[in-house]
Amino acid sequence: MSDKVEKDEVSGTDTTGHEWDGIKELDTPMPRWWLWTMYGTIIWAIGYWIVMPAWPLISSHTAGFLGYSSRGSLEQELADATAAHAEDRNALVTMELSAVKNNSQLYQFALRGGKSAFAVNCSQCHGSGAQGAPGFPNLNDDDWLWGGDVDAIYETIKYGIRSDHDDTRIGEMPAFLTDEMLTKEQINDAAEYILSLSEKREDMAAVDRGQDVFMENCAACHGDKAKGGRDFGAPNLTDAIWFYGKDKDVILRTISRGRNNVMPAWVDRLDDATIRQLALYVHSLGGGE
Amino acid sequence: MVNSSVENIDVRPVNKKENRALFEKREKIQPKKARGNFRRLKWIIMGVTLAIYYITPWIRWDRGESGPDQAVLVDLARERFYFFFIELWPQEVYYITGLLILAAISLFLVTSLFGRAWCGYSCPQTVWTDLFIFVERMVEGDRNARLKLDKAPTSVSKFGKRLLKHSIWIVIGVLTGGAWVFYFADAPTLLRELFTFEAPVIAYSSVAVLTATTYVFGGLMREQVCTYMCPWPRIQGAMVDEDTLTVTYHSARGEPRGPHKKGESWTDRGHCIDCNQCVAVCPMGIDIRDGLQLECITCALCIDACNDVMDKIDLPRGLIGYDTHAGQFDSNPERKLDIRFIRPRTIAYGLILALVGAVMLFTLLNRSVLDVNVIRDRNPLFVTLSDGSIRNGYTVKILNKIHETRQFQIEVVGLKNAQAWIESGPPIGLPMIVTVPADALSSYKLFISAPAQNLPGKTSDIDVVVTDFKSNERDIQETSFKGPEK
């Protein structure tokens, strides 16, 4: 490179002195505004390192003078949101649940809150549309094991079913084969009888035998007419809704080994206002009584 | 002796192509005051446009109890746009598209007829720059005084003048930004809040940003905004043709130019006496005698300046004037303007304008004041009930676009033995009647159940009919009812 800066003849601009195949590279200066913007960003970055969390250390990081953290800001936002709704939440916990519907503003608040709480806490088992799955009830329909009015739903959510809470409700479907209460043949007869309640069966002799087995062993909880009983959470066996499925194999398995699913108690995990929102939301899904 | 009645100005058109090197510091343009018809027209247009800008938010318009009484209002919080008798909801934003098309085509039409008339007279950048130059002239004097002041050593009086000028500029900026925010909130309320420091932060920051941009664009950057930032000068080339009126220097008449002594003959020379008045008044820093160029905003001040000179030296006016491209080469000073307003281009623009305008007017006048949306639940698709019947869920949204509470009946048509009810609405079997508040959207959860054996297949087509109780206005929404595979 020559010591003297060479000028390009055409543009009058300095060249860098680099030349390829007769083409010389111009040394066009940066536009001022661009340069000052870049200096500005550097100064900004230094200020940012000082006031905001920036540099990783061995076990933590520099905290910054403003004391900002994204976790803290989220907590603050959540607290602000809760505080902003304080009035509605207080109204919700002091009011009869069945009366909330008459206050449309409060009801809408409850439904929206319930919807989001459902998505966070309930959808894992009951599905995002509350449509349920085998072993997890569909909350849209009109069939309720433990009662479908809003107070019953509230109680179910609050204390759970077969949960570890003292006030939980318990019902037990025994394991008739495992515990040697019935033989395989008897269980088959009982299943035939149960299926005969909602569809036509071919082996009527088995159905008749099954009716006796049912009356002796099942009617205590499921009722003489197999319509179920809410005191024990015993399902109605005559309707179109099947908790675990309508296949005979599934029914045989249920009678043989029993079923004791758990709905957790939410009283210690969610505040009362949220549980009430959830109860109202579930009640609004179409099957509420 | 040089013609004594005309001052010969030593002025350099700083934005002339040859004078404008890259990476050179901008040389400030100190435009001289022009006097004449176009200057007067510009003052009038400045007054009218500024008046429209400042007065519009204060015009009241009665919309009853449920609407704001401001004629023009962009209500971002409630998502409404009000313009006198027009009220738009967010989903009708396509009217804005129509408005933008109208604005663009109007600009094309005006440009093809009169060149950059928008730039020269009514563009906010031009209007505010003109206002800022006016202030500068009031405080520091006209061109010569300002040049002298620039060169003068620092003194109390120089500092005082500068301080006064910039202060007035900033006040204008504040008033500009201050007027802007009134379009977005109730003007009298916001004015009070602004002074009592109760206005929202966004209002203050909007005022601050617009103050800054007004001050910088109108006071400091001026012609650079037009030349470097605005895309329009680049587009105008496609709009201008040989019949477009532009500010034209009649070179055939003016050349060869040169100083002229009083009493000298005008034969064998042009009418331009090279006094540079046209350059001195130009706010863009160009020489119009170089022909039409990108920087020219056709503000026509050079026409005023040149006509003034022509009067003084007893030559016919119009050496610089509005003329078509062809006029440039006509040396006859008595030349009659022959403007072809009707050209394929203007006909096309006119037709598009009329068409889009008619469509907009028609849709606006026939705008429905009831809108219904029916959204089928997709999760779950359907629910089997204990008696074996199938239930579907729908969200029905009713938009009541008038400022009056209305009652609607919702009906479901097209499904045998179906039952329909609204969540927490009237009991099953009673008519589904809902009340929608004035100027509001209400959302309802609609359930429909039907015996499974009545369903023709997986999907049945049904209609949800919403009828206004009083006016019988009706909206029919087609939707479907889903069931299990048959």
pLDDT for A271: 92
Copy the structure tokens of residue A285. Answer: 């899904």
Cβ-Cβ contacts under 8 Å between A and B: the total is 56
Q: How many CB atoms lie within 10 A of CB A129?
A: 19
Q: Taking CB atoms and an 8 Å cutoff, what residues of chain A touch B393?
A: 140, 285-286
pLDDT for B22: 64
For A24-28, the CB contacts below 8 A with 24+ separation are A28/B23
Q: How many CB atoms lie within 10 A of CB B233?
A: 18
Q: B181 to chain A nearest CA, in Å?
A: 28
Which region holds residue B388: left if phi is over 0, alpha if psi is between -120 and 50, else beta?
A: left
Q: Taking CB atoms and an 8 Å cutoff, what residues of chain B touch A230?
A: none
Cross-chain Cβ contact A239/B393 below 8 Å: no
CB B257 within 8 A of CB B274: yes
Q: How far apart are CA B132 and CA B173, in angstroms?
A: 10
Q: Which CATH code is given to the segment(s) A74-167+263-283? A: 1.10.760.10
Cross-chain Cβ contact A131/B447 below 8 Å: no
Average of per-residue pLDDT across B226-242 = 86
B258's CB contacts (< 8 A; 6+ apart) are B269, B270, B272, B273, B274
Instruction: Please tell me which residue of chain A has the smallest CA distance to B390.
Output: A141
Which of B224, B229, B386 to probe the A interface (max A CBs under 10 A)?
B386
Instruction: Please tell me which residue of chain A has the smallest CA distance to B424.
Output: A101
Q: How far apart are CA B177 and CA B19, in angstroms?
A: 36
Residue, of B10 and B435, whose pLDDT is higher: B435
> What mean pLDDT value characterizes chain A?
92
Nearest by Cα to B385 from A289, A219, A98, A125? A289
pLDDT tens sequence across B292-312: 888 899 999 999 999 999 998
Q: What is the DSSP letter of A99?
A: G
Average of per-residue pLDDT across B399-404 = 89
Q: Which helix (H) or strand (E) holds A282?
A: helix A272-283
**Cα B24 to chain centroid, rounded:** 33
pLDDT tens sequence across B443-461: 999 999 999 988 888 999 9
What crossing angle do the helices spanning A272-283 and A86-94 adopt, rounded to 10°? Answer: 70
Given the candidates 3.30.70.660, 1.10.260.40, 1.10.760.10, 2.102.10.10, the CATH classification of the domain at A184-257 is: 1.10.760.10
CA atoms within 13 A on the CB side of B26: 14
Question: Rounded to 5 degrees, what are φ and ψ at A260?
Answer: -145, 70
Q: Taking CB atoms and an 8 Å cutoff, what residues of chain A touch B385?
A: 141-143, 240-241, 287
Copy the structure tokens of residue B158. Answer: 């120089």
Cross-chain Cβ contact A138/B380 below 8 Å: yes
Peptide bond just before B380 cis, omega within 30 deg: yes
ipTM value > 0.95? no
> What does the H/E/C string look like for B145-185?
HHHHHHHCCCCHHHHHHHHHHHHHHHHHHHHHHHHHHHHHC
Which of B228, B383, B435, B453 to probe the A interface (max A CBs under 10 A)?
B383
The DSSP bridge pattern shows strands B390-400 and B370-376 to be antiparallel
> What mean pLDDT value characterizes chain B?
89
pLDDT grade for B119, boundaries at 50, 70 and 90: very high
Residue B150 predicted with pLDDT over 50:
yes
pLDDT grade for B5, boundaries at 50, 70 and 90: low
Looking at chain A, the domain(s) classified CATH 1.10.760.10 span 74-167+263-283, 184-257
Question: Rounded to 5 degrees, what are φ and ψ at B340?
Answer: -95, 95
Cross-chain Cβ contact A140/B447 below 8 Å: no
pLDDT grade for B426, boundaries at 50, 70 and 90: confident
Cα-Cα end-to-end distance for chain A: 91
The DSSP bridge pattern shows strands B474-482 and B419-422 to be unpaired
pLDDT tens sequence across B308-330: 999 988 888 889 999 888 777 77
Residue B24 predicted with pLDDT over 50:
yes
Question: Rounded to 5 degrees, what are φ and ψ at A37?
Answer: -65, -40
pLDDT for B341: 86
Q: B387 to chain A nearest CA, in Å?
A: 6
Structure-token match 């033995």, residue found: B417
- DSSP track, A199-226: S--S-HHHHHHHHHHHHHHTHHHH-TTS
Q: How many CB atoms lie within 10 A of CB A254?
A: 21
Residue B128 predicted with pLDDT over 50:
yes
CB B74 within 8 A of CB B183: yes
pLDDT for B2: 46
A140 touches chain B (CB under 8 A): yes
Residue B7 predicted with pLDDT over 90:
no
- Produce one character per residue of B30-68: b if its CB has 16 or more CB atoms within 10 Å, e if not: bbbbbebebbeebeebbeebbeeeeebbeeeeebeeebb
Domains observed in chain B: 1-27+234-336 (no CATH), 28-233 (no CATH), 370-482 (2.60.40.10)
Query: B26 vs A83, B9, B278, B322, CA distance in Å?
Result: 56, 21, 21, 30
Q: Which residues of chain A fall below pLDDT 50? A: 1
- E strands, B241-291, are 246-249
pLDDT tens sequence across B332-381: 777 777 778 898 999 999 999 999 999 999 988 888 889 999 999 998 99
pLDDT tens sequence across B247-300: 999 888 888 888 888 888 888 888 999 999 999 999 999 999 988 888 899 999
Q: B211 to chain A nearest CA, in Å?
A: 21
pLDDT for B23: 62
Query: A56 vs A44, A63, A69, CA distance in Å?
Result: 19, 10, 14
